[in-house]
Amino acid sequence: MTHPGNAGPPAVGAAGAATPRPGTTWDSALSSEEFAAIGGVGFEPLGQVLGTAVFNIGYTGVWGCPGNWAVTDDDKPVPSSRWASSLSQLVRTMYAARRSALARAVAECGALGGDGIVGVELRVGEFPAGGLEFTVRGTAVRARSRIRPRAPFTSHLGGQDFARLMDAGWVPVALAFGVAFTVRHDDWRTSFRIPFAVRNQEVDCYTELIGRVRREARRQLVLDTEKHGGDGVVVNDLELRVGESECPSYGATRDLTAEAVFVGTSIARFGRSERAAGARPPLTVMRLDRES
């Protein structure tokens, strides 16, 4: 018995190479090496797929300083005001934008009769008329097998890494995201400390800002992987953006914002039902290094 979202490795033809369906013309974003690699594990390309979504992104919390932190006696940052704003709505919007673009690419894959998308690239850029454009691009593939997955898988892995994954007994399930925002009010403790501090010294409040947002993004990535039913996640990239803006509550001060985004592919082993009843393996995070 295989993973509920996947049907295990497909049957590989005698030639061991991808063979497009007769009478069809297809395109792909695969290199010749990637094309050969996916054919070696029993898949063939069907065509490029694309999904886009344009969202107007903005802060939607309540009034007040969104990150006016205080420090307790045990050195743990806590909001200093009950009016401290929540960024949860912004995080939900960022997830929704990515998932909308991905869902449209998956719909194109399904229309082609594909079993999944390999080499998924997710790009975020400014839209000329305003807002942010989220674009998902990849190559739809189909297994040379009579058994079809319940839903198309999505994976950022290119052809060679996809083949290595299959050869090692793993199947991709779905693209997984971890998104987090953190805001820190740059108060007098920081403002007075930095200009007069000794050089080559850690600014611990900034370290805390970056550490906090990365930890939260990683936690969200694990939760997203669990939701897809994956045993682990192969990490593609970590994006980190730090900016600043004028504090809405206190004049002549600023708020520092940090955004962290993890993108990866949740994966599952073949034959999951063979595990002992009740045994749940730990989630793992790993990277597949490309050969130079």
Q: Which domains does the chain have, with CATH numbers?
A: 32-272 (3.30.110.70)
Q: Please, what are the averages of pLDDT over each run of 10 residues along the chain (292 residues)? A: 42 41 63 87 91 81 47 42 54 90 95 93 91 94 85 92 91 92 68 56 79 90 92 89 74 78 92 47 50 45
3-state secondary structure 56-78: CCCCCCCCCCCCCEEECCCCCEE
pTM beyond cutoff 0.75? no
pLDDT at 156: 94
Q: Helices in the chain by DSSP H: which ranges? A: 32-40, 88-111, 159-167, 188-196, 204-227
CB atoms within 10 A of CB 206: 16
